[in-house]
Amino acid sequence: MDKLRILHMYPAMLDLYGDSGNVEILSYRCRMRGIETEVIKHDLGDKDTDFSGVDIVYLGGGADFEQQLLADDLLGLKDNIRKAYENGVYFLMICGGYQLMGQYYKDSNGKKIPGLGLFDYYTVASTNKRERCIGNIVVETTLGDKKYKVIGFENHGGQTTNVKTPFGKVLAGNGNEFASSVEGYTEKNVTATYLHGPLLSKNPRLADHIISYCMTRKTGQPYKPEQINDKLEAECRKVLLERLLKK
């Protein structure tokens, strides 16, 4: 079986709250099923990154400063990234990575950082730097044909609007905007969200959903991930959901 290739974008710059752990979790859950993975890194200035030759493109979270530093580099990759997206490569994007794939990000000082324009949404930061969407969050989404509660931690001043297909419904926390009813953005091969944690450590079924999509696309045959022992994760999720959703 050919290896599953994960492209990790700007790993040294986009790693808020251990977001790089999402790549480790994907690799681990593949390894437990006998699927070999290869993690390829793209750093500032790299010119020969093969976006269409990978299965997953991953961008973690970063603060305004990091986003400004890498914005020009990212724009130079726009055509290659769009081609990969249109070819069905899976895009997993967290916080700053989520914002940069939209039309633009306007920071709290009014400076507009252009996004790749891959999607229609855009983000404007609150002008009151003390106002942030911060805290634990629970989002109900659909994976395949089943509802699933996704748990994470959000910390963002940016308010993301014009989101046509949200990742899910907010059950606790804020979401795309202050007291929003929805969070993130999704398509068949896209998960974009403000949830840190890292996201996949608290939500193993989401990791398996991504793996299943990628393996189905790669092999041309429906792929159902073999069950692995998630007893500890299930117990932790139960405690967190009871705590966060209590009335």
Residue 132 labeled ligand binder:
yes
Burial status of residue 40 (CB atoms within 10 A of its CB: 0-12, 13-18, 19 or more): middle
Instruction: Convert 91-103 to b/e letters by CB count within 10 Å (16 or more is b).
Output: bbbbbbbbbbbbb
Residue type at position 117: G
Residues 6+ apart with CB under 8 A from 238: none
CA pair distance 66, 44, nearest whole angstrom: 11
Catalytic residues: 95, 196
Sign of CA pseudo-dihedral 67, 69, 72, 78? negative
Q: Residue 144 carries which side chain, given as an amino acid letter?
A: G
- Cβ contacts of residue 53 below 8 Å, gap of 6+? 5
Residue ranges of the annotated binding site for substrate are 132
Which residues line the annotated binding site?
Answer: 132
